[in-house]
Amino acid sequence: MYTDTEITTKGRISMLIVKELTKRYENVLAVDNISFEVKSGEIGVLLGPNGAGKSTTIKSIAGLLKFNGTILINGEPNKSLNSKKVFGYVPETAAVYDYLTVWEHMEFIARAYRLDEAWKESAENLLTRFDMGDKKQMLCKELSKGMQQKVSICCALLINPKMVLFDEPMMGLDPKAIKELKDIFLELREKGCAVLISTHILDSIEGVWDRVLVMNKGKIVLSRTRKELENSSESLEKIFFAVTEGVI
């Protein structure tokens, strides 16, 4: 259930709420008490240098790690069944089963998530968009890394999610797939889906983001909306280096 503060004036709900998230790996504090929100119809970007804690944050949200703090997706704890039904996750390295074909991956996800029969059409569309239409019967172990990443993306999007987590999604993709993925980000936003992208490549999210969260050494060191940045007349690159390296 949402509280009033979680529903904004524009009626956009906070699809993802992260409160006081802390994650420690043995002696390393990977994520240090961070809090942020991503609303429906918003593209949030976790930006930061290598080792900033972006992937750990995304993995914690996806429920793959144990953590301290609170993570709510669509108003429910991230590890609850109801929240799992509504979010998709694209990992940093493609997650595919070697002995399943591309189409069998689609079928497996559709069945596991109990999707209705319309999934076939969605799957066809997604695979066509990523130039995988003619590779449906290929085993995933026979695909290149980039193609495997495309399968991972298709699996995450097939469930028609209300929120999608992308962890360095452009890695290994060809220019056409990158362009296609950027278009998909915008389409998801149009449909009211919340999108959270983790990346360390500033150029890769240029023109698509609504809210940027810059992470460094496990903390969020800067949070800006696109409008705030435009009003300040500073570039994202300049601010990024200023807050991560103290260089202006």
Query: Contact positions toward other proteins, by CB under 8 A?
Result: 26-27, 59, 62-66, 79, 81-82, 84-85, 89, 91, 95, 97, 99-101, 104, 107-114, 137, 139, 141, 155
What minimum distance in Å lies between the beta carbon of 119 and other proteins?
11
Q: Please report, as a single letter, which amino acid is at residue 97.
A: Y
Q: Please report, as a single letter, which amino acid is at residue 106.
A: M
Q: Which is nearer to other proteins, 109 or 177 (CB)?
A: 109
What minimum distance in Å lies between the beta carbon of 63 and other proteins?
5
Q: Which is nearer to other proteins, 92 or 234 (CB)?
A: 92
Q: Which is nearer to other proteins, 91 or 169 (CB)?
A: 91
What minimum distance in Å lies between the beta carbon of 225 and other proteins?
29
What minimum distance in Å lies between the beta carbon of 15 and other proteins?
16
Q: Which is nearer to other proteins, 10 or 66 (CB)?
A: 66
Q: Which is nearer to other proteins, 82 or 231 (CB)?
A: 82
**46 SS3 class:** strand
Q: Which is nearer to other proteins, 81 or 248 (CB)?
A: 81
Residue 155 in contact with residue 106, Cβ under 8 Å? Answer: yes
Residue 54 in contact with residue 215, Cβ under 8 Å? Answer: yes
What minimum distance in Å lies between the beta carbon of 116 and other proteins?
11
Residue with tokens 């259930």: 1
Query: What does the buried/exposed string (b/e) look like for 105-125 if buried means 16 or more CB atoms within 10 Å of the residue's CB?
Result: bbbebbeebebeeebeebbee
What minimum distance in Å lies between the beta carbon of 233 and other proteins?
41
Q: Which is nearer to other proteins, 169 or 243 (CB)?
A: 169
What is the C-alpha to C-alpha distance for residues 111 and 141, in angstroms, rounded to an integer?
A: 22
What is the C-alpha to C-alpha distance for residues 206 and 3, in angstroms, rounded to an integer?
A: 33
What minimum distance in Å lies between the beta carbon of 95 and other proteins?
5
Residue 164 in contact with residue 193, Cβ under 8 Å? Answer: yes
Torsion over CA: 27, 33, 38, 39 (sign): positive
